[in-house]
Amino acid sequence: QVHLVESGGGLVQPGRSLTLSCAASEFTFSTYVMHWVRQAPGKGLQWLAGISYNGKNKYYADSVRGRFTISRDNSKSMLSLQMNRLRPEDTAIYFCAREMSASRFVDVWGQGATVTVSS
């Protein structure tokens, strides 16, 4: 069964950094576009970043461009999100998600990693 598992979440102070990882299994990771989406407590969904299948093209929401970096290691079937200069408003559940091969939409989501930014 196709699986995405995020890790690396936790409590971090404002201004510090944190890196999330997403381990993919049971599909050919290297052929799929991948994304990060987050959800603040009690709020809706916010797209953050996407990366092409080979990692050459990266896309960011304005709210995180310059602070967050998406990357992938196809040899390890791993997606990452490096988050720098974290702010309290970055507190959220962070989901990694796989984009469908037949469409632009994500069809597989991880269970999410919780990031809390607080002093």
Partner 1 sequence: EIVLTQSPATLSLSPGERATLSCRASQSVSRYLAWYQQKPGQAPRLLIYDTSNRATGIPARFSGSGSETDFTLTISSLEPEDFAIYYCHQRGDWPPSFGQGTKVEIK
| Site residues for partner 1 per CB under 8 A | 44-47, 50, 59, 61-62, 95, 100, 103-107, 109-112
- Cβ proximity to partner 1: between 75 and 105 the closer is 105
Q: What's the min distance (Å) between Cβ of 63 and partner 1? A: 10
Q: What's the min distance (Å) between Cβ of 66 and partner 1? A: 15
Alpha-carbon distance values, 57 to 23, 52, 111, 113 (Å): 20, 5, 25, 24
Cite the beta strand spans of the chain per DSSP E: 3-7, 10-12, 18-25, 34-39, 45-51, 58-60, 68-73, 78-83, 92-99, 106-109, 113-117
- Cβ proximity to partner 1: between 12 and 110 the closer is 110
Q: What's the min distance (Å) between Cβ of 26 and partner 1? A: 14
Nearest to 33 by CA among 18, 47, 43: 47
- Cβ proximity to partner 1: between 47 and 55 the closer is 47
Q: What's the min distance (Å) between Cβ of 60 and partner 1? A: 8
15: left (phi over 0), alpha (psi -120 to 50) or beta: left
- Cβ proximity to partner 1: between 16 and 65 the closer is 65
